[in-house]
Copies of this chain bind each other. A is one copy, B any other.
């Protein structure tokens, strides 16, 4: 029988009523003739409660015990979902990570899936089971201990199952009804996309459109798993939600798929750094070791053997970055005249695979921002993305202006 993977996030299984609603969605697919693997998250709020207990007990906790405690949330939802399906006369049973088994690395609380054994579950499908309910976010280490994949890991579980079992599609049920051209709270003209390419989704996800976990999109792209994002709170049709798929499956599309933003950005500039071979490593090595996630990097033209180095980073990592730079200066590994920090910036990006074959996207973007009098502080470009750092107070205005300039409210 054809197989679907359906994943329900925490808000979609937050109460027994919502579990029942989700189970009905599963029942619809079973009635169509699909065998279904359901991946469930913990009931909304549960994981936070469990994590809170662990951290209160042991601030520098043993991640193996953290995983044992925190994985219990998905275990409960899986059992309750299986019971709900059984009440609807759908043959179902629950599986925990170690029962499948989902083999992972031993990197507790941030493990990676290494292998999913399909024999046990496929055996039960062959015996007439129609739905395997699997606890998301968890697996088992080579040492036989429970592991978790890190927050949001249930998306990754879902995609990995879809790849391992050769599912026709992986439906991710969440509290939004799809991927939009931009945040509808910022532009009322934002339009739901019917389809988006994996690469575009990756850029949008890592830029802060928190619909899908980045790793799950990477995995889907590698194994060509068709991902559909849709709302568990709306009535569904076959064209509901947004399909995240290979670009070849997208016939017509705008050059730009969407406008993304990130509010919590800061900009740091090292003024007058000695410009010598290895200077970039001397700056960004210590930052990386301090756990600072540097995003954009711009180096000015060198004058008299000295240059300015500018980079962006999350606002809450500024103090750590400043300390790392001062320590590096004290130790003599780098030398600079001044360190200037600007915590009032935001990043705005336009993303689209069409940019590969169309020129002029960056120019159009700069013109649109200029027309609104918005000054650009830093620019970076990739094959399918142009990002700019601007004053935070202009962020909403910039997003609206770019959405209008690229006419994203219209279907191509």
Do the beta carbons of B80 and A64 come within 8 Å of each other? no
Q: Complex: how many Å from CA A144 to CA B95?
A: 10
CB-CB under 8 A from A146, the residues of chain B are: 96
- Chain B: minimal CB distance from A5 (Å): 20
Do the beta carbons of B99 and A83 come within 8 Å of each other? no
CB-CB under 8 A from A3, the residues of chain B are: none
Q: Complex: how many Å from CA A79 to CA B64?
A: 9
- Chain B: minimal CB distance from A131 (Å): 12
Taking CB atoms and an 8 Å cut-off, the chain A residues in 134-155 that contact chain B are: 144-146
Q: Complex: how many Å from CA A94 to CA B50?
A: 16
Do the beta carbons of A53 and B69 come within 8 Å of each other? no
Taking CB atoms and an 8 Å cut-off, the chain A residues in 184-219 that contact chain B are: none
A66 near B: Cβ within 8 Å? Answer: yes
Q: Complex: how many Å from CA A35 to CA B370?
A: 72
Do the beta carbons of B87 and A65 come within 8 Å of each other? no
CB-CB under 8 A from A57, the residues of chain B are: 16, 19, 80, 83-84, 87
Do the beta carbons of B69 and A80 come within 8 Å of each other? yes
Do the beta carbons of A54 and B69 come within 8 Å of each other? no
CB-CB under 8 A from A96, the residues of chain B are: 68, 146
A69-B62 CB under 8 A given contacts A19-B57, A80-B53, A99-B145:
no
B62, B68, B75: the one contacting A68 at CB < 8 Å is B75
Do the beta carbons of B75 and A79 come within 8 Å of each other? no
Do the beta carbons of A83 and B98 come within 8 Å of each other? no
Taking CB atoms and an 8 Å cut-off, the chain A residues in 202-257 that contact chain B are: none
- Chain B: minimal CB distance from A280 (Å): 41
Question: What per-residue 1/0 map shows which CB atoms of A45-71 lie under 8 Å from chain B?
Answer: 000001001101110011011101100
Do the beta carbons of A66 and B54 come within 8 Å of each other? no
A86 near B: Cβ within 8 Å? Answer: yes
A76 near B: Cβ within 8 Å? Answer: yes
A163 near B: Cβ within 8 Å? Answer: no
Least CB separation from A67: chain B residue? B79
- Chain B: minimal CB distance from A134 (Å): 12
- Chain B: minimal CB distance from A409 (Å): 44
Do the beta carbons of A79 and B93 come within 8 Å of each other? no
A82 near B: Cβ within 8 Å? Answer: yes
Q: Complex: how many Å from CA A65 to CA B76?
A: 9
Do the beta carbons of B83 and A54 come within 8 Å of each other? yes
A78 near B: Cβ within 8 Å? Answer: yes
CB-CB under 8 A from A54, the residues of chain B are: 79-80, 83
